[in-house]
Amino acid sequence: MTLENGWEMVVGLEVHTELKTATKMFCGCANSFGSEPNTNVCPVCLGLPGSLPVLNERAIELAMAIGMALHSRIAPSTFHRKNYFYPDMPKDFQISQYDLPINSGGYLDLPDGSRVSIERAHLEEDTGKSTHLGGSGRIHGADRSLVDYNRSGVPLVEIVSGPDIRSSAQARAYAMELRGILIATGASDGRMEEGSMRIDANVSVRQSADPFGTRCEIKNLNSLRSLQRAIDYEAQRQVELIEAGGTVRQETRHWDEILAVTSTMRIKEEADDYRYFREPDLVDLAPDQAWQDRVRGELPAMPAERRAKLSSRLNEPSDAQVGAVEVVIDLGLDPFVHAAIDHGVDPSLALARAANELAAGLDGITRLSHEAFSVTLSMEQGGELSATQAKTVLGELLARGGDPKAVAAAKGFEQLSSDTLGATVAELIVQYPDEWARYRDGDEKLAQFFIGQVMKLTKGQANGKAVVGELQARR
């Protein structure tokens, strides 16, 4: 969507990501999704009187890793208390970094070549989760609410971008690229639907080159689709409001997925007096060079770099292949592709099998070695397996593991003997004289027809290249 009459949208995103630690930010309770309510709680994360927080070392390291991947400066930092009353927050304050975050500055380069600046990426704790009884089950009209503190105290990193984004598509690309980085660093699983990555969007509009307009914050966008639609809706709403002579009021807005509109949630008011002050129960954080170097040394390659590396092994990739590269990088399957190419497999075949068959069987990916993947694809390339058979073997390896050759043998995927193939081809020539004549006269398209018939008769056991060989030999 583009805005008309010279309007431009200005967007900045705040991405909250839950960190993939074993335990919570300040206590030893398990950080796990989907447990029975209030089973991962202790005096600390319930905010019981007398309890005290102690920082999780792993959470700090993941936050540093995110900062390093975003080219941020890692600096001595402190923790503050953000004070406000809310029932899902056990201490009625949130421990968060404030004026001195662990990561400040930085940038993220998007695949289209644009750069979005990063203002900060700081550590804070998550809250519990409330559900609403009565009414519609939503917060409005409920007569009672129930609170589960399993998520309370789960470590979060909040990544704040500069107001550099100029379209909803760019916002989406930023979110996707950032998600890839979070997954690559091991900081997050990037599952937006489970709330492990949540996005707030600050949206304003202006006449190009004017100063920034008043912004509205859209809270808790939990899918890329919502992000894009909500930004478009909100920008258009502001334009229409201004063009009708109105002014935009600074407020927090809620995106309604079903009605596809944003609506006022809360006007900024004096209740926002959070009375930030230094958290006296925690000491300062000042990671020394050795600690930073260790984290940096463990940092894997980021998506942009991996994308470039993979693309460089493809010969002028088609649009479909560019899409496949995206899928493979996003799912972290590129090491399989590289291993297969190193093993002599055609890059296009390796990419296709990873982007399709491996992507579909991701749950069993730990059962498949790079070696087994490469061997299966070599068998397919050498004609020992048909494409259908190779896919079946991969499916079996992902489901149950094992050795590709043994799996192929067990499935009865013996190579069709050249005698049998020759006999089959001879039979078909007799059966389809017209088609054979046209092929012989140079109509290469008919090769596909004969391959199809051979496959039918051999139940897919034949290798396409071998069929073409037989056909050519008899031309």
Partner 1 sequence: MKSAAQIAREVQSGATSASVELEASLAAVRARNEELNVFLHVDEEGARAAASRIDDRVARGETVGPLAGVPIAIKDNLCQAGIPTTCSSRILEGWRPPYNATVIDRLVEAGAVPVGKTNLDEFAMGSSTENSAFGPTRNPLDITRVPGGSSGGSAAAVAADMTPIALGSDTGGSIRQPAALCGLVGVKPSYGLVSRYGLIAFASSLDQIGPLSKTVLDSAILLEVIAGHDPMDSTSLPEPSPSLVAHVDDGVAGKRVALVRELVEGADPDVVASVERATVALKDAGATIIELSIPEFRLGLSAYYLIAPAEASSNLARFDGVRYGLRVDADDVTAMMEATRTAGFGAEVKRRIMLGTYALSAGYFDAYYGQALKVRTQMIDAFHRAYQQADLLIGATAPSVAFEFGAKTSNPMAMYLSDVFTIPTNLAGEAAVSVPFGTGEAGLPIGVQLLGPGRSEAQLLAAARVLEIADGRP
Partner 2 sequence: MGSPLRREDVAYVAKLARLTLSDAELDMFTEQLGQVLAHAEDMGALNLENVVATAHPFGLINVVRDDIVRPSLEREVVLAMAPDARDGRFAVPRIMGEAP
Name 221's Cβ contacts closer than 8 Å, sequence gap at least 6. Answer: 198, 199, 200, 201, 227, 230, 255
State which residue, 56 or 376, has the beta carbon closest to partner 2. Answer: 56
Tokens matching residue 2: 């583009």
Name 210's Cβ contacts closer than 8 Å, sequence gap at least 6. Answer: none
Minimum distance, C-beta of residue 260 to partner 2, in the bound complex (Å): 19
Q: Which stretch binds Zn ion (CB under 5 A): 38-46, 225-233, 237-245, 427-435?
A: 38-46
Please tell me the count of residues contacting partner 2 according to CB under 8 A.
Answer: 66
458: contact with partner 2 by CB under 8 A: no
Which of the 8 DSSP states describes residue 354? I
Comparing CA positions, the residue from 234, 228, 251 lying closest to residue 174 is 228
Name 89's Cβ contacts closer than 8 Å, sequence gap at least 6. Answer: 127, 128, 152
Where does residue 2 rank: exposed (0-12), middle (13-18), buried (19+ CB within 10 A)? exposed
State which residue, 87 or 323, has the beta carbon closest to partner 1. Answer: 87
Minimum distance, C-beta of residue 50 to Mg ion, in the bound complex (Å): 26
95: contact with partner 2 by CB under 8 A: no
Tokens matching residue 469: 């060989």
Among 42, 55, 265, 299, binds Zn ion (CB under 5 A): 42
Which does residue 331 bind out of Zn ion, Mg ion, partner 2, none, counting CB within 5 to 8 angstroms by kind?
A: none
Among 51, 71, 88, 186, binds partner 2 (CB under 8 A): 88
Consecutive H or E run containing 451: helix 446-458
Dihedral sign from CA coordinates of 220, 223, 226, 227: positive
Dihedral sign from CA coordinates of 58, 63, 67, 72: negative
Residues 13-72 touching partner 2, rule: CB under 8 A, are 21-23, 27-30, 36-43, 46, 54-60
Tokens matching residue 420: 């049998």
State which residue, 27 or 466, has the beta carbon closest to Zn ion. Answer: 27
Distance between CA atoms of 401 and 358, rounded to whole angstroms?
13
Distance between CA atoms of 121 and 357, rounded to whole angstroms?
36
Q: Which stretch binds Zn ion (CB under 5 A): 22-30, 140-148, 255-263, 350-358?
A: 22-30
Which does residue 49 bind out of partner 1, Mg ion, Zn ion, none, counting CB within 5 to 8 angstroms by kind?
A: partner 1
Site track for partner 2 across 201-240, x = CB under 8 A: ------------------x---------------------
CA atoms within a 13 Å half-sphere pointing along the CA-CB vector of 38: 8
Q: Which residues bind partner 1 (CB under 8 A)?
A: 43, 46-55, 81, 83, 85, 87, 90-93, 145, 147, 273, 275-277, 280-283
Which does residue 245 bind out of Zn ion, partner 2, partner 1, none, counting CB within 5 to 8 angstroms by kind?
A: none
Q: Which stretch binds partner 2 (CB under 8 A): 83-91, 327-335, 344-352, 400-408?
A: 83-91
State which residue, 54 or 322, has the beta carbon closest to partner 2. Answer: 54
* Residue the block writes with tokens 């914050």: 217
Minimum distance, C-beta of residue 51 to Zn ion, in the bound complex (Å): 9
Distance between CA atoms of 283 and 288, rounded to whole angstroms?
15
Q: Are 383 and 470 in contact (CB under 8 A)?
A: no
Strand-pairing partners, residue 124, are: 96, 156
Q: Are 299 and 70 in contact (CB under 8 A)?
A: no
Q: Are 198 and 221 in contact (CB under 8 A)?
A: yes
State which residue, 152 or 376, has the beta carbon closest to partner 2. Answer: 152
* Residue the block writes with tokens 């470590």: 155
Among 10, 13, 19, 45, binds Zn ion (CB under 5 A): 45
Minimum distance, C-beta of residue 145 to partner 2, in the bound complex (Å): 5
State which residue, 45 or 156, has the beta carbon closest to Zn ion. Answer: 45
Minimum distance, C-beta of residue 153 to Zn ion, in the bound complex (Å): 6
Q: Are 15 and 159 in contact (CB under 8 A)?
A: yes
Distance between CA atoms of 250 and 227, rounded to whole angstroms?
19
Among 194, 243, 272, 427, binds partner 2 (CB under 8 A): 272
Phi, psi of 11 (to 5 degrees): -125, 135
Which does residue 45 bind out of Zn ion, partner 1, Mg ion, none, counting CB within 5 to 8 angstroms by kind?
A: Zn ion
Among 8, 61, 119, 158, binds Mg ion (CB under 5 A): 158
Tokens matching residue 377: 């694809």
Which does residue 158 bind out of Mg ion, Zn ion, partner 1, none, counting CB within 5 to 8 angstroms by kind?
A: Mg ion
What residues make contact with Mg ion under the rule CB under 5 A? 158
What residues make contact with partner 2 under the rule CB under 8 A? 21-23, 27-30, 36-43, 46, 54-60, 76, 84-89, 127, 130-134, 139, 142-149, 219, 252, 254, 265-266, 270-273, 275, 277-278, 280, 282-288, 291
